[in-house]
Structure 1
Amino acid sequence: MKITRALFVGGLSAFYFDDQKAIKRGSKQDGFTYQGEVLTPGFRSIRQAGECVSVILTLEDGSVAVGDCAAVQYSGAGGRDPLFTADHFVTFMNTHLKPLLEGLTVDRFLQNTRFFDNLEINGQRLHTAIRYGVSQALLEAAALASRCLKMEVICREYRLPVIPEAVPLFGQSGDDRYRAVDKMIIKQVDALPHGLINNVADKLGQRGEKLLEYVTWLERRIRALRQNPDYRPDLHIDVYGTIGLIFDQNPQRIAEYLARLGKAAGEFPLQIEGPIDAGEKILQIDSLRAISDRLRALGSDVGIVADEWCNTYQDVVDFTNAQCCHMVQIKTPDLGSIHNVVDAIRYCNDRGVQAYQGGTCNETDVSARTCVHLALAARPMRMLVKPGMGFDEGMNIVANEMRRSIAMLPPAKPTPTARSINAN
């Protein structure tokens, strides 16, 4: 089956691009916007509309495969690719990618996606968002050509077992970190709330007192609202390196504070994502290892999740090999082609480090649904609910895609029983 036509259409993603550096430096919120000076190159304002580019591939039989090029909310931060805007990249894609896609045979997903992931134009690889969207479309094209689910294409080409079981889901609250938690408890999401603790003054507190109060509230709120006493979600909170800022980047002081948070979490397991941003990868690995070692010495079971400076497949390998943390976020758009997500999850799983298949609120329904199939095939420890920050919309998209896909899998072949074996 070949591609007969390739289109690239600019559109909107489900959230916004935010200048993380400006926000962490104390930019004040003004309604839904921020006041202050832009600090990250490429931004017009601290918060601006998120964008995507849809890759639309028409196949010989008239079927249509779609993928969405999307980039993370905090583009240009922590070693990531720069801001991705549709008007800048659609012309580029028409010029350089359209001739390569039209006429391409789509049956072999891995061969095709690796080609575009490694492609260089004028000596540079494609922006991660482009590789992300093109690979999504190529996966759907391969599934259409084979008349199967996208997860089945991944399992077939990687020789993975098809497992008809859901992957745990992790809800994100955005700034609505109280009311959204109530929603998550009612819908019994597996991990919550993300929390978006990206500012010291308003969200963390100069001594960490605001986050400590929030974790204490979370523990009480879950116990108060849960209808099933067995409902015991993980507490997973992203702090964007802000804890390091209030404790002078000192791993021992950070760990001691995290241990206090762990006690406040009570019966609910606590993971803290990005407790420190050391400014570059090697220092980040060393810092996370020191924090993890100190937590172990304190007898605390708080888990450390790597995020900043862990962007590419190779970064995931390096953080995993260093055994510097308990869990690695695999931030799907940052890895470029989606086959890198599968490779990264498998690498973590094989080495005893928990894989969290994340991403960003700033994706689309198309990329989120594709990510469900990656998770069902590769089996990370948890998957982020996305896109958007409203929780309900992302939960609807991700949870229903997962349930539909599992229901559509072919029935498992019955395992022969002793009686049937003897009967033969």
Structure 2
Amino acid sequence: MTRPDPYSARARRVLAATGLVALAALAAGCASPTGGGAASNAASTGSSVKIGIITAESGPYAPYGEEYLAGLKAGLSYLSNGTDVIDGHKVQLVIDDDADSPATAVADAKDLIGQGVDMIGGTVDSAIALQVAAVAAQNKVLYIAGPAAVDSLDGLNRYTFRSGRESYQDIATAGTFVGDLTGKKVVVLAQDSEFGTANVAGVKAVLGGQGASVSSVLVPLSATDFTPFTAKILAAKPDLLFVAWAGTNATQMWTTLNQQGVLSATKVVTGLANTATYPATGPAGSKIEFLAHYFPGAGGGNAYEAAMTKTVTESGGTVDLFTPDGFTAMQMFAHALEASPTDVSAMIKALEGWSFAGVEGQYTVRAADHALLQPEFEAKLTGSGTSWIPQLVKAVDPNTIAPPVPATPAWSTSGS
């Protein structure tokens, strides 16, 4: 795939989310991220706060970027009671397309900071998130990463937080339902990318820590023929195959695994991706155990999920895997904004240690490294043909899958 020119591809626009549906039933204060009615003094200042959002609107991860943005806008509508005003400040989302290009994202981040944005959020790609985080730290701007799952965002610098889950939490979730792994062989099938290698490291840390022998089969992002890789898996004779995948070639991958007999030769665990991928598993769907970051109803249903779903649906969209990441990001932005619209130190202090209810359940921003502790889920797919439905097997407690706590935050010695 040829990537577009990073500048001609940029689809910058300023959104005040004026077309979003107001949630009248939530207008009595429960819309506040802290439970106090964030929009109650809407006319008190008249000031404007810009939040720069960098995410994929084109490129291979565009569908994930769309989900994130839908959740972000729904969160703004919910938290402001449809006014786009939070704690007396008119919130504007300045959205840039990173086109899945680190160079474009870095240029966007610098440009947004030059425009005077008060906070930055977003991006689906882990490699991009790491680079944007570095720019944010250099310029002392708050950054809340989106669906990017790379573990090393934790403790990277004091300005960086995240609104989604991380790879460690995915692997730890699988570790709660794969049984005793002492002496077992585990093979990780993943793409040769930041996301893929992070998953390999996570499996070695978590499942390897439970006594498994862990190896990996890494596949180039551009691969279309997966037969050579399935041969390596079969030759290894694993007791467990952990598949970590994100992108547009999942159909070919699952088809090959099924045709080559991998799914019947070993136990397969993978993450439940967005809804469009369910049919891609084909007959493999019923043979896989899924760890799930989110699917509709996973959190048992609550006011946050109901509000998000209502707004996204009435705006013509569909709630999916990363929609909650956008909604959660807006909760975090709003909480930071309530501390101060301009003082980044006050924003950071407000977010550190903050525990709050959201779409998936209870979240906690760990003060030590800014990891976002949150529940994940075990699920199964039921159905056939093009119709598959995820069903909850169990919810996994956030503390059970929490990443290790660092002895000392990185910024305590680096000063950044």
Q: TM-score range by the shorter chain?
A: 0.3 to 0.5
TM-score, structure 2 as length reference: 0.33
Structure with greater strand share of residues: 2
Structure with greater helix share of residues: 1
TM-score, structure 1 as length reference: 0.32
Larger of the two Rg values belongs to structure: 1
